[in-house]
């Protein structure tokens, strides 16, 4: 199949790897993952590894993403790092990850400010949204997704919405959760349609169709091909499995299969 759409495979390394380990791991990946036209591989290391890895990567092969940053560009904010301080190292910024929402109490307002800061600094925000197990049980999935979209995108204009990527990560499917279970393709298909319906109300039909939507939550080499086959899913945000070269390379390989690379 030939398509103009890109598939994104984003590795969220979370709080793993020292800068030295990250550099060795990148070296290993770069020997195995080629630069591709239709598949964008993005690595998201810890903040402390961003600068060294930005000097090491071939940007045609990989891009880097920040896992977190502060939304103000500069000032008296002891201990914080702004996106304007790291913008030359990265092309993407993960915003609104459930670990930040629930472990670090980030509000929709914080998230909206971070999305706006990423866009202001010329980066692509990857806005993570997804319902908790309880919200799902209570039939509140659509409302939770809507609230997070409205909240996270509240400062994004019609002109800038094309710079945003959405990652649907149901909290109950993320491997760091005690009772995590992988989402079924039907659940993801349905959530993806919900997201596009909400986006269509906010920004119109064309934007809703064009918006890249990724899935994240317990993705591994055996589930990745099925997830990537879901119509309307433009890629994967991978946690645990991105820390193991064989697993991550196999996931990237399944994205390659989505396209004719001629």
For ligand 13P, the binding residues (CB under 6 A) are 12, 97, 169, 174-175, 216-219, 237-241
Q: Rounded to 5 degrees, what angle do the CA atoms 255, 41, 68 make? A: 130
- Cα–Cα distance, 122 to 88 (Å, whole number): 10
Q: Is position 97 annotated as part of the catalytic site? A: yes
Q: Catalytic residue, from 27, 97, 140, 206: name it.
A: 97
* Least distance to ligand 13P, CB of residue 219, Å: 5
Give the C-alpha separation, 258 to 262, whole Å: 12
What is the spatial distance between Cα 148 and Cα 146, in angstroms, rounded to a whole number?
A: 6
- The active-site residue out of 99, 106, 169, 198 is 169
Chain position whose Cβ is nearest to ligand 13P: 239
Q: For ligand 13P, which is the closer residue by CB, 208 or 224?
A: 224
Cα dihedral across residues 241, 244, 250, 255: positive or negative: positive
> Which residue, 124 or 208, is less far from ligand 13P as judged by CB?
124
Whether 159 sits among the annotated catalytic residues: the reply is no
| Closer CB to ligand 13P, 97 or 101, in the complex | 97
Task: Give 110's Cβ-side CA count (13 Å radius).
Answer: 13
Residue (14 or 120) nearer to ligand 13P, CB: 14
Q: Minimum Å distance from CB 237 to ligand 13P?
A: 5
In order of 77, 143, 202, 212, 235, the CA distances from 205 in angstroms are 40, 20, 9, 14, 21
Minimum Å gap between C-beta 226 and ligand 13P is: 15
Minimum distance between the CB of residue 220 and ligand 13P, rounded to whole angstroms? Answer: 8
Active site residues: 97, 169
């Amino acid at each position: 199949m030939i398509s103009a759409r890109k598939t994104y495979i984003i590795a969220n390394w979370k709080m793993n790897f020292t800068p030295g380990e990250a550099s060795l791991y990148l070296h290993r990946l770069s020997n195995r993952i080629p630069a591709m036209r239709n598949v964008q591989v993005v690595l998201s290391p810890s903040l402390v590894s961003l600068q060294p890895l930005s000097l090491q990567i071939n940007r045609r092969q990989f891009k880097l993403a920040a896992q977190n940053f502060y939304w103000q560009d500069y000032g008296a904010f002891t201990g914080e790092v702004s996106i304007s301080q790291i913008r030359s190292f990265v092309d993407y910024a993960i915003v609104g990850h459930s670990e930040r929402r629930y472990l670090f109490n980030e509000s929709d307002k914080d998230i909206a400010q971070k999305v706006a800061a990423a866009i202001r600094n010329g980066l692509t925000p990857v806005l993570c949204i997804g319902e908790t197990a309880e919200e799902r049980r209570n039939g509140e999935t659509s409302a939770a997704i809507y609230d997070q979209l409205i909240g996270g995108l509240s400062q994004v204009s019609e002109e800038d919405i094309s710079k945003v990527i959405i990652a649907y990560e149901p909290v109950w499917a993320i491997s760091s959760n005690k009772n995590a279970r992988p989402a079924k393709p039907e659940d993801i298909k349905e959530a993806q349609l919900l997201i596009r319906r909400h986006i269509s109300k906010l920004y119109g039909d064309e934007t809703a169709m064009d918006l890249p939507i990724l899935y994240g939550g317990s993705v591994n080499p055996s589930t990745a091909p099925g997830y990537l086959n879901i119509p309307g899913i433009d890629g994967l945000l991978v946690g645990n499995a991105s820390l193991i070269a064989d697993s991550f390379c196999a996931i990237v390989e399944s994205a390659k299969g989505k396209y004719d690379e001629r």
